Amino acid sequence: MCVRSRFIHRCFLSLFADLFLMRLWCIFTPKDSIVRRQSISFTEPNDEWLKSQVDNKEYSSKSELVNDLIRQARNQQQQIDLIRLKLDRAEKSGFTSDSKSDILKQAKKLMNG
């Protein structure tokens, strides 16, 4: 992910609460590939930020920007869910009696094929 995308994503997440983000996701997720038109309200600072992104030619419209931010948030949530799943599996697998050097050797072996 490029620096600009990370910056935009961080700004978006700081502007909107997680609950509102989920609400937007529900509103803007197309059903049966039909794009649905919605009306949403933004605070003045958030609206100014959206306008600045469009004015800077980063996006062609606020809708495009909001949809991109939602896609990024959905992708991030998928990554978080995958990490949580891996952590749960690791915790359930129990503890090892292998030494640090043994674990490192095993990891290097897996990485090198």
Report how far residue 107's alpha carbon sits from residue 90's, in angstroms, rounded to the nearest whole number: 15
pLDDT digits (tens, 9 = 90+) for 61-79: 999 999 999 999 999 999 9
pTM, rounded to two decimals: 0.52
Can you list the residues of the chain whose pLDDT is less than 70?
1-35
Assigned token pair, 58: 């980063």
DSSP code, position 58 = S
Tokens 């090198």 — which residue? Answer: 112
Residue 48 CA, chain-centre distance (Å), reads 22
Report how far residue 63's alpha carbon sits from residue 112's, in angstroms, rounded to the nearest whole number: 45
Q: What is the pLDDT of residue 16?
A: 46
Assigned token pair, 9: 């994503």
CB 62 within 8 Å of CB 28:
no
Q: What is the pLDDT of residue 85?
A: 95
Which residues lie across from 8 on neighbouring strands? none
Phi and psi, residue 91, nearest 5°:
-65, -40
Q: What is the pLDDT of residue 52?
A: 95
CB 50 within 8 Å of CB 42:
yes
